[in-house]
Structures are given as C-alpha cells and as structure tokens.
Amino acid sequence: MAEVKRTESFGEHLRGLREYSKLTLKSVSGQIGVDISLLAKIERNERQPSKQVIKEVANFFQVNEKDLLDKFLSDQIAHKILNENGDLGILKVAEEKIIYLKTVNNGK
Amino acid sequence: MAEVKRTESFGEHLRGLREYSKLTLKSVSGQIGVDISLLAKIERNERQPSKQVIKEVANFFQVNEKDLLDKFLSDQIAHKILNENGDLGILKVAEEKIIYLKTVNNGK
DNA sequence: TTATTTTTGGACAAAATTTGACCAAAATAA
DNA sequence: TTATTTTGGTCAAATTTTGTCCAAAAATAA
C-alpha cells in the first residue's frame, strides 16, 4: 500500500491512490461517473471534491470515507489560515471553541 | 476593560465591546458606516463581517485588528469542523500542513 | 399606561463564487 | 509517427453571499 504522508494534500492522496492502482484518469472518471477534467483538477487541488465525489472515490479505492473527508477538511483549514495570514495559535483557540460548543449544545 | 473569554465568538466579542462602551447599534453603525441591521446580525453571528467591517470596528473600539480577524477565523474553523462532523485531530494535521507549506513555499 | 428608542427578523435583488460540462492543446506512451 | 492521457481554459447554470430596506418586536423612558 502507498505510504501515508500526513502533510499530503487531498489531491495528492487521491492521485497516489489512482497511480498505485495503475489506472488512468479516464478509467477512474468513467467508473465513478465524474468528468475526467474535473477529476484531474481535483487531483491537482484546483477544484474541490463534492461530498458525493469523496464518497465515490472512497468506495472505489476501498478507503475509509471519513478519513478522506477529514483529509480534505484539514486541507481547507490549512489553506484558509495560510491565505488569511492567520496565526497558528488560531487552531488552539478553534479547538477550545469546538470543545466548548460541543458541551454547550449537548443534546441539541 | 471587559474580560477576555477565549471561547467567546466574534459576534459576542463585538457586542461586548459595544455594550462596554454603552453605545447603541444605531450609534456604532452610524459612525462606522455599516447598516444597523447588518451590524446586529454580525453581533449575533448570523452574518459574517467583511474585512472592511473588521477593520472599521477595530479602529472604532481601539482594539488590535489582527486579533479581531484571528478571533473571527477561529470561529469559522470551529464551525466548519462542527458542521462537517470533523474529528478534532484534523486541527493537528492542519497545523502540520501549514508548517510544511510555509517551509516549502519559502520565499515564494 | 403611552411614546420613544433599540433591536430583531425577514425579504429582496445584485454581486460574487462555485459548479459541472465541454473541448482543444499539450504531454506522455506505444 | 499514432494513440492515449493529462492539462488548461471557457462557459453558462446554480448556489451562496452581499448590502439594503422595512416592519415588527422588545426594551426603555416619559
């Protein structure tokens, strides 16, 4: 199996899965029903995958869908902070807010 | 000065600043040139502040603009993870990605 | 109480962003 | 070369976000 790199982007990961399987974009795009050009752009992080695409890709490559979604989410967060020039400390604050909101909205 | 609560949302913070100053929405909205209803919604986290609004608010209340922006950013990240049901571990991964990308894109 | 002020909630169109689809050119492989 | 694969760009449709406006609700003052 391809090695797991934590800093790898969603697109890189997806491309890795496909190349490891020795499949072409055409083949994968055909089987999961996603436009070939769109899929190529997702692999290059030029377009975002929809939830539907993430699900189909996970099924197709037999990987955990939640893990894939989380990988995509961490990409989005990293890029948001990078292009807003946000401080790294934001992440700790965000974590506290999440924990706080989870307990406050407990039940709801 | 009003106490600093780390888990406080951007809107709550903004409302706190205004109430601490004993000013009405009308007064503040008039002085910074933002529609009163929009400002009220921002305080209730029903609308997002634009960068411009954040800047004007920071100037008006004499608080650090970057801190305010970071407070807003941490809100956005917290909510994103909460409504995508993302794992808390995402934050650590995002941090690694940010550090990685900063060194990789060093100079650019 | 009534009158005034303040805040909220919703509707609306304009603007901005995101989406999937398509096709031709570029790059790679046979 | 030819065939295959990947890339880069355009496009309109769909979706989301934006600021503005107004009326109702809530709070405060008289």
ipTM given for this complex:
0.90
Helix (H) or strand (E) holding A73: helix A65-83
In sequence order, which residues have a C-beta less than 8 Å from that of residue A3 and are 6 or more positions away? Answer: none
Q: In angstroms, rounded to a whole number, what is the distance separating the alpha carbons of residues A79 and A46?
A: 12
* A35 band by pLDDT with thresholds 50, 70 and 90: very high
* B105 band by pLDDT with thresholds 50, 70 and 90: confident
**Residue B46 per-residue DSSP state:** S
pLDDT of B5 reads 86
Check if residue B12 sits with its Cβ under 7 angstroms from strand C.
no
Chain B neighbors of A87, CB-CB under 8 A:
66, 70
pLDDT of A105 reads 74
pLDDT of A50 reads 98
Chain A neighbors of B93, CB-CB under 8 A:
6, 70-71, 74
pLDDT of A59 reads 97
Closest CA to A81 of B95, B84, B56: B95
CA dihedral A74, A79, A80, A86 (to 10 degrees): 110
Distance measured from the CA of protein residue B43 to the C1' of nucleotide D21, in angstroms: 19
What rounded mean pLDDT belongs to chain B?
94
Q: Which of B69, B80, B96 sits opposite A6 (nearest CB)?
A: B96
Q: In angstroms, rounded to a whole number, what is the distance separating the alpha carbons of residues B59 and B56?
A: 5
**Residue B88 per-residue DSSP state:** T
**Residue A50 per-residue DSSP state:** P
Under a CB-based contact definition with an 8 Å cutoff, are residues B10 and B72 in contact? yes
Q: Is B16 helix (H, G, I), strand (E, B) or coil?
A: helix
The string of pLDDT tens digits covering residues B17-48 is 999 999 999 999 999 999 999 999 999 999 99
Chain A neighbors of B94, CB-CB under 8 A:
74-75, 77-78, 81, 91
Q: Which of A69, A87, A102 sits opposite B70 (nearest CB)?
A: A87
Q: In angstroms, rounded to a whole number, what is the distance separating the alpha carbons of residues B68 and A28?
A: 45
Closest CA to A98 of B100, B6, B46: B6
For chain B, what are the domain ranges?
A: 10-104
* B85 band by pLDDT with thresholds 50, 70 and 90: very high
Kindly report the pTM of this predicted structure: 0.92
* A17 band by pLDDT with thresholds 50, 70 and 90: very high
Mutate to test the interface with A, among B5, B90, B102 (most CBs of A within 10 A): B90
Nearest chain A CA: its distance from B24 CA (Å): 28
Nearest chain B CA: its distance from A27 CA (Å): 30
Q: In angstroms, rounded to a whole number, what is the distance separating the alpha carbons of residues A96 and B82?
A: 12
pLDDT of A79 reads 96
Q: In angstroms, rounded to a whole number, what is the distance separating the alpha carbons of residues B72 and B49?
A: 8
Under a CB-based contact definition with an 8 Å cutoff, are residues A55 and A65 in contact? yes
Taking CA–CA distances from B83, the nearest residue in chain A reads A98
Distance measured from the CA of protein residue A39 to the C1' of nucleotide D13, in angstroms: 20
Q: Is B85 helix (H, G, I), strand (E, B) or coil?
A: coil
Q: Which class would CATH give A10-104?
A: mainly alpha
pLDDT of A12 reads 98
pLDDT of A29 reads 98
pLDDT of B2 reads 59
Mean pLDDT (whole number) for B40-57: 98
Least reliable range by pLDDT among A44-48, B26-30, B101-105: B101-105
